[in-house]
Structure formats: C-alpha cells, structure tokens
Amino acid sequence: KSADLLISMGLNPENEILHTLAFLAGVMLWSQ
C-alpha cells in the first residue's frame, strides 16, 4: 500500500497536499 500511495502522490501533487494534511490531522488527534 505504501508504494501505491507514494506513486499516487507523485502523480497527483494536489492529492499529496491532501494526504499530508490528513496525515498531520491524524497525528494531532492521536497525540491528544
């Protein structure tokens, strides 16, 4: 899955931003 995600992100810069924001939001929720 990681490889597919990286490929998807590489082909879609806009999706990369969304994935990054989603990841950061998940980390923030997890650290609370």
Residue 29's pLDDT is 93
Q: With bands split at pLDDT 50, 70 and 90, how would you rate the model's confidence at 1? A: low
Q: What are the helix and strand counts (H, E) for the chain?
A: 2, 0
User: Interior CA angle at 3 toward 31 and 13, to 5°?
Assistant: 75
Give pLDDT tens digits for 2-29: 677 666 656 666 777 888 888 999 999 9
Number of domains in the chain: 1
Residue 21 has which token pair? 């924001």
H or E segment to which residue 32 belongs: none
Residue 20's pLDDT is 87
Supply the range of the domain harboring residue 14.
2-31
Residue 18's pLDDT is 82
The residue to which tokens 């879609």 are assigned = 12
Residue 13's pLDDT is 67
